[in-house]
Homo-oligomer: A and B are copies of this chain.
Amino acid sequence: MDHSVTAEAAFGRRSAGLTERVERQLSALLSDNDRLSQAMRYSTVNGGKRLRPLLVYASGELLNIEAQQLDSAACAVELIHCYSLVHDDLPAMDDDALRRGRPTTHLQFDEATAILAGDALQALAFEILASDEGLQRQPAAGLAMIKLLTQACGASGMAGGQAMDLQLEGQRPDQQALEHMFRLKTGALIKAAVMMPAALSPSLDQPARQSLARFAEQVGLAFQICDDLLDIEGETAIIGKTAGSDLAHDKATWPGLFGVEAARQRIAELSGDALSCLGRLDGNAEGLLWLTERLLNRDY
């Protein structure tokens, strides 16, 4: 039996416990005391796959960092992801009606509440990092984690990528421009998820840090190309959001511009490069291997 497959399967079994761990914490963080809090909770505690928190824990396993030290980072990354979905779904943005199989936040509540819920989820993400008890004892690592996450969120990260995505509607960018947008829109947060644990590993040397970063970048880009494929090929009932939404918005997508077969090849190429980066790293990579597989071979 192939050893690595067994090892990956072991993480697969553990991943249910880690997902549950994230769910418990997110649920404890989010009250339903008032309408805004209800909207924040609705937008977060909703059966999300929690792939980014799992990346945080899996990267922590590679670096020998306990899950307990990474709980705030895992939740913060997920809160940022959830806030971005709420804002991306707004009428002025992608105007989507369905998310994770339920009405989007602005339809379930109202537009103003959705804007504010996203705003408050972003603030909460940074708040839990700044308040984390363990990080009070390692404040330099706390600051470094917050810095990584803020950079992933801003004009040179997710918000910048989303702005480019909107500007590219109806355009035909070349592959480099499209992938640059993907790296910001989707890749930056995935990279932050993988790199935040490294803030707790000051002894990690520069080449190892670069390999980990490149692994994350390639996976993040491939993940967005997969997402584009799913939008074409997936069924609404399975992917939990409106299939064909990209086409309806005349979005610039990888398979739309360069073909479905070329998209699959590009995913394989990026995935191969990501795995070779991982191969250059010491430590237990089974979680990152399992997640790479799960991120890039999905039908949901």
Contacts and interface: CB of A to CB of B under 8 A. Distances in A.
Interface of A: 34-37, 40, 87, 90, 92-93, 110-113, 115-120, 122-124, 126-127, 129-131, 135-136, 139-140, 142-144, 146-147, 150-151, 153-155, 157, 159-160, 162-164, 166-167
Contacts of A157: 123
A127 B143 contact: no
A160 B131 CA distance: 19
Given A123-B154, A160-B36, A130 B143 contact: yes
Nearest to A124: B154
Contact of A127 (B92, B124, B127, B147): B147
Q: Closest 4 A-B residue pairs measured CB to CB?
A: A127-B150, A139-B139, A92-B111, A123-B153
Given A36-B159, A115-B115, A151 B127 contact: yes
B159 A120 contact: yes
A150 B167 contact: no
Contacts of A118: 119
A126 B117 CA distance: 18
Nearest to A166: B112
